Amino acid sequence: MKLKDIVKFQFKRVNPFPGLVIDADTWRDAHNYSRDQQRLHNLVFHQVGIIEGLEVTSNEPPDLSVNIHPGIAVDPEGNIIIVQNIYHYQIKNRDKETVYLIIQFREVLEGPYQPPNGGQPTRIVDGYRIQERNNLPEEPYLELARIDLDPGEAVIRSAENKETPVKNEINLNFRREATKSSSQTTSAEVAAMIPEIINPKQKIVLGYVAALGENSDLHIHGLRNLAREMEMRYNWIIELEENVTLDNNIDRFTMIYLTGGKDFRLGEDKQRVLGDFLKSNGVLVAEDCSEGTPRSNNSNIYGPVYDELIDKFKLTLKPVNHGSPLLSNVNIFSEVPQGVKSGILLKGNNVIYSNNDYGCAWQGGHKGNPISRDAIRSAFEIGANIIDYAYTTKTSVRNKKLKVNE
């Protein structure tokens, strides 16, 4: 837990003395002291996330609903959430987009009432709210599942392959799981925590945009794999929003990953929004996909994504060479690693362009043409460097603004 989150807690106790008037405020302060102590204990000495249960499964027989199973979790404010019974949830969204199923802590007023008929409730139940959204909220929440929804198929199913769920399958890869207590932690798990201790990060929000028409899934499985790998290996908190609409509300993203095929185009509205995003120190990572194109050893052959960016934004992009922070900020490289193919990495004006096709490398290569384990590992490691660079770039401006305001 970060120091800035800890100092939000200010503990206030009741000072008892003979003749003290006990009113509602006094009672509330007395109980809030104990509640805040418990919440801070949960955050400092334990882990935020799902502790046990809360699995999301398809209905039987499958339809456009899911079942959330009993379980317990700790939310980002230290509140304990308990689901006691199976909760049947009907998906209401009828648009072709990613649906995020989340749970949030809620306080529910309950009887008995004073006076009995129409009076005030005298009890507060620690409850929860489950809702579906087309984006993730700013207020505290825990993700239970996400679904790349196509209402036309009329059913939602549990994923056959949990690692790579497809359309209308329940994706559990982005659930935040609470780790075991320190007394049960293995040496390997302690080693996995070291990067977070050395280089702690707040939430990193990634946006996925494929300019191939709505709900394209080009490289999306690879980006999901990258986000999951970063959480498991570095303990970074990654939120991935899929099929992002390039509107005026993209400043929340740390990084936007943009890809496309031969018909890649950016309209004027999208150009303007992306231009404002870059000016706010957001980082745009753009990549061409090589699947379906002839294999070439010429790393200087770019693609339609590069051509469109250079044409519309008049960018000056320079090759990333030995000594660049992108090759040393997390993982050390002597040169740009290859993805599905050996290409080039360019950087400038908060834009990173690659024709190495890391997006396909993050999902094991092209169908029928897999790549080596070493190439996959290197692709994930350069992905970590890129995300770290984007995070550092974005937060440096926020920190400067904070200092100015102070």
How many other CB atoms sit within 10 Å of the CB of residue 185? 13
Q: Report the pLDDT value the prediction gives residue 400, as an integer from 0 to 100.
A: 43
Residue type, 151: P
Instruction: Report the alpha-carbon distance of residue 203 to residue 236 in Å, rounded.
Output: 7
- Per-residue pLDDT of 42-56, as tens digits, reads 887 888 899 998 999
Q: Report the pLDDT value the prediction gives residue 209, as an integer from 0 to 100.
A: 85
| Confidence check: pLDDT of 316 > 50 | yes
**Residues 6 or more apart whose Cβ sits within 8 Å of residue 12:** 29, 32, 33
How many other CB atoms sit within 10 Å of the CB of residue 196? 13
Q: Report the pLDDT value the prediction gives residue 401, as an integer from 0 to 100.
A: 42
What pTM does this model have? 0.58
How many other CB atoms sit within 10 Å of the CB of residue 187? 7
Q: Choose the weakest-confidence range: 79-88, 89-98, 290-299.
A: 290-299
User: Binning pLDDT at 50, 70 and 90, where does residue 200 land?
Assistant: very low
User: Binning pLDDT at 50, 70 and 90, where does residue 346 land?
Assistant: very high
Mean pLDDT over 362-377 rounds to 88
Q: Tell me what percent of the residues of the chain surpass a pLDDT of 90.
A: 30
CA atoms within a 13 Å half-sphere pointing along the CA-CB vector of 174: 30
The structural domains of the chain, with segments of one domain joined by +, span 49-171, 185-405
Q: Tokens in use for 134?
A: 């087309």
Angle, vertex CA 397, rays to CA 391 and CA 403, nearest 5? 125
- Per-residue pLDDT of 19-42, as tens digits, reads 888 888 888 888 888 888 888 888
Q: Report the pLDDT value the prediction gives residue 160, as an integer from 0 to 100.
A: 85
Q: Which residues pair with 66 in a beta bridge?
A: 58, 89
> What rounded mean pLDDT belongs to the chain?
82
Q: Report the pLDDT value the prediction gives residue 404, as an integer from 0 to 100.
A: 37
| Confidence check: pLDDT of 266 > 80 | no
| Confidence check: pLDDT of 375 > 70 | yes
Q: Domain 185-405, what fold?
A: Rossmann fold (3.40.50)
User: Is the pLDDT higher at 365 or at 195?
Assistant: 365
